[in-house]
Chain A
Amino acid sequence: MSADYFSQNGIKYIDYKDTEVLKKFLNPHGRIKSRLQTGLTAKHQRDVTRAVKRAREMGLIPYIIK
């Protein structure tokens, strides 16, 4: 098993302000990709989900991309 994105890059905390990182885990419509697609650990997937939702609320990333 290869390590996931955050383990590989040594990222311990998934920050809602890192929009460029979060965008890697969104599909073209702005929806959060599933674990099957992201290949993240369950914990990191939860952290990404939380960060994405915070970033959306703060207007840093969109809720939907039409």
Chain B
Amino acid sequence: MVFSLTMTEKIEKTTEENASDAQVYELGYHLLPTIAQDELEAEVAKLRSAIESRGGSFISEGTPAMNNLAYTMYVNNGGKNTKYDTAYFGWIKFEMQPGEARMLQEEDLKENKQILRFTVVKTTRDETRAKMQTEQNTVFREVQTNKTIEKPEAVKEESAEVSEEEISKSIDDLVGDTESTDSETTSEEESKEETQE
């Protein structure tokens, strides 16, 4: 077993690692609101050329748009603060070697006076923006609001033919029952009266 690698092997290995080490980054930036709309494209082109010169390959991009800042930002220009409440916010997603990405920030972006503020973050190649901003796609807890409570169907009374005899019979039965109960109560009352006397 030989543990030590020869010099050429080592170099080959490091170059291979470098190729696979390329990382996807996203540059988010605020350009100064003092830039005119016509010059905006030229400023973005400068950023692109800076990324390209450091061996970066572009993946996707968000065009800069005027944006109200959440708080006032101050830039110190020779002992004097300049206030900014708005800026053009845009972003570029690209792939680059980590060392180059660091140099891009230190040497290109920090030196660019037209950039109010920037950030470089590691990200993924896929689309990262949330797609559920519309209400149609949002999933809320399922509440069945559209369902109406169904009325129970009215039970139709069957109209069977009944003969007159049967009716009179049933009436007699009912009347007979009430009479019998009445007679019972009256007899009880009578007996009570008798005892009182």
Contact = CB atoms under 8 A, between A and B. Distances in A.
Interface residues of B, number: 27
Interface in A10-31: 10-18, 20-21
B126 A10 contact: no
A8 B28 contact: no
Given A9-B137, A9-B138, A62 B130 contact: no
A11 B130 contact: yes
B132 interface: yes
Interface bracket on A: 20 to 34
Contacts of B174: none
B139 A62 contact: no
Contacts of B121: 16, 54
B71 A62 contact: yes
A10 B132 contact: yes
B129 interface: yes
Contacts of A2: 141
Contacts of A10: 132
Contacts of B105: none
- Across the A-B interface, give the 9 residue pairs with the lowest CB-CB distance, nearest first: A59-B69, A13-B128, A62-B70, A9-B132, A15-B128, A8-B139, A18-B130, A11-B130, A59-B70
7 contacts: A8-B139, A9-B132, A20-B133, A54-B119, A58-B30, A60-B70, A62-B71
Given A9-B139, A14-B130, A15-B130, 5 more contacts: A16-B119, A59-B73, A59-B117, A62-B70, A63-B71
